[in-house]
Structure 1
Amino acid sequence: MTEQQYEVKSEQNKIRIDKLLAEINPDTSRSQVQTWINQDSVTVNERMVKANYKCQTGDIVKWTIPETKPAEINPENIALDIVYEDSDVIVVNKPKGMVVHPSAGHSGGTLVNALLYHCQDLSGINGIERPGIVHRIDKDTSGLIVAAKNDQAHESLAVQLAAKDVERKYEAIVHGVIEHENGLIDAPIARDPKDRQKMGIVDNGKSAVTHFKVIKRYEQFTHVECRLETGRTHQIRVHMKYIGFPLVGDPKYGPRKTLGKNGQALHARVLGFTHPRTNEWLHFEKEAPKEFRDLLNQIEKMY
Structure 2
Amino acid sequence: MKPFQLTYTAEAPNLLREALGEWGISKRTLASVKYGGGQILVNGTEVTVRHALEKGDAVTVIFPNEEHGKGLVAEEGDLKIVYEDAALLIVEKPPFQNTIPSREHPFGSLANIVAKHFNDHGIPSTLHIATRLDRDTSGLVCIAKNRHIHHMISLQQQEKKMKRRYEALVHGLIDKDEFTITAPIGRKNTSIIEREVREGGQFAETEVRVLQRLEGYSHIILQLNTGRTHQIRVHMTHIGYPLLGDDLYGGKRDLLGRQALHCSKLELIHPVSGDPLFFSSSLNKDMQSLV
**Interval containing the TM-score (normalised by the shorter chain):** 0.7 to 0.9
CA displacement at 1:204 relative to structure 2? 1.1
- Is 1:236 the counterpart of 2:235? The answer is no
CA displacement at 1:132 relative to structure 2? 1.4
Asked whether the equivalents of residues 123 and 148 of structure 1 are also in contact (C-alpha less than 8 Å), the reply is: no
1:288 partner letter: L
- Is 1:134 the counterpart of 2:130? The answer is yes
* Number of the residue aligned with 2:146: 150
Name the TM-score, length of structure 2 as normaliser: 0.73
Structure 1: give runs of 5+ residues left out of the alignment: 1-69, 125-130, 297-303
* Number of the residue aligned with 2:59: none
Q: Map residues 1-303 of structure 1 onto 2, 5 A cutoff.
A: 72-120=71-119, 121=123, 123-124=125-126, 131-256=127-252, 258-261=254-257, 263-296=258-291
Residues paired across the two proteins, number? 220
Q: Using a 3 Å threshold, how does the CA distance of structure 1 residues 281 and 94 change in structure 2: closer, same or farther?
A: same
1:117 partner letter: K
Q: Using a 3 Å threshold, how does the CA distance of structure 1 residues 238 and 251 change in structure 2: closer, same or farther?
A: same
Q: Using a 3 Å threshold, how does the CA distance of structure 1 residues 256 and 218 change in structure 2: closer, same or farther?
A: closer
1:70-119 per-residue CA deviation (whole Å, 9 max, x = no partner) reads 76211111111100000100000100011001122221111111111102
Asked whether the equivalents of residues 211 and 221 of structure 2 are also in contact (C-alpha less than 8 Å), the reply is: yes
CA displacement at 1:123 relative to structure 2? 5.0
Identity between Structure 1 and Structure 2 (%)? 38
User: 1:181, 1:232 → 2: CA distance?
Assistant: 24
Name the TM-score, length of structure 1 as normaliser: 0.70
User: 1:252, 1:153 → 2: CA distance?
Assistant: 34
CA displacement at 1:254 relative to structure 2? 2.4
1:222-267 per-residue CA deviation (whole Å, 9 max, x = no partner) reads 1000000111111101000001110011121124464212x10110
Q: Using a 3 Å threshold, how does the CA distance of structure 1 residues 122 and 176 change in structure 2: closer, same or farther?
A: farther
User: 2:255, 2:124 → 1: CA distance?
Assistant: 38
CA displacement at 1:203 relative to structure 2? 1.0
Structure 2: give runs of 5+ residues left out of the alignment: 1-68
